[in-house]
Amino acid sequence: MKLYSYWRSSAAYRVRIALNLKQLSFETIPVHLLKDGGQQHSAEYQQLNPNQLVPTYVDGEFSLNQSLAIIEYLDEVYPEPALLPEDPEAKAQVRSLALDIACDIHPLNNLRVLQYLTGPLRLNDDQKTEWIYHWLHTGFNALEQRLQKTAGEFCYGDNITLADLCLVPQMYNALRFKLDTLEYPTISRIYHHCQQLAGFALAAPEQQSDAQL
């Protein structure tokens, strides 16, 4: 099993957590998102993933992009521990929380979006930061309200789910941008709790072989 990954990529971080929780050993193939103009744009990587984004999961002839699709695939093939509840309503709620993060928060502050803002659209650094904070606060405000209704120890009740695998990297990313997270006590509590668990801790950006500290 191979994971094309970048240490600071939130989407790759989600998959690393899943692989760790399921105790699957995998080889990390680093794709440096900044070096050489971004190795995700190389012809070789484009063959593997035409979206030019990480992660890409490869197992033999099987290759898959999109972190949530990868995690759900792993969850079906390696069911323990389950990352989605069985009950249809609970499962839908967990997916909905995960998608709030993965579809409505994460993409707006992705590298290629920020590069387009400061490149062709000529935003300066302060304007870029305002953009990042605006979309993080918009998403976190909604997420905090939802979690106040759904959370137990984790995002949805007391079991780790797909939603936690999305929350942790997104919060890591927000802290990296020095977002004031005091307004988000539930998000913060779940984040700090997850950080204590080995599967999450080992997936952290700083623990990766390609980390540049």
Ligand X SMILES: N[C@@H](CCC(=O)N[C@@H](CS)C(=O)NCC(=O)O)C(=O)O
What stretch of H or E contains 75? helix 67-77
Q: Select the residue interacting with ligand X from 3, 17, 18, 33 (CB under 6 A).
A: 33
**Residue 39 interacting with ligand X (CB under 6 A):** no
Q: How far apart are CA 15 and CA 208, in angstroms?
A: 13
49 token code pair? 């993933």
Assigned token pair, 99: 């998608």
Question: Judged by CB, which is closer to ligand X: 75, or 186?
Answer: 75
Which one of residues 20, 39, 67, 93 is an interface residue with ligand X (CB under 6 A)? Answer: 67
Residue 169 vs 199, nearer CB to ligand X: 169
| Positive or negative: CA dihedral 109, 74, 81, 204 | negative
* Lookup result for tokens 């050993």: 25
Residue 12 beta carbon to ligand X: minimum distance, rounded to whole angstroms = 6
Q: Tell me: does residue 95 bind ligand X (CB under 6 A).
A: no
Q: Does 111 bind ligand X (CB under 6 A)?
A: yes
Nearest residue to ligand X, by Cβ distance, number only:
112
Strand 56-59 with 62-65, pairing = antiparallel
Nearer to ligand X, 38 or 157 (CB): 38
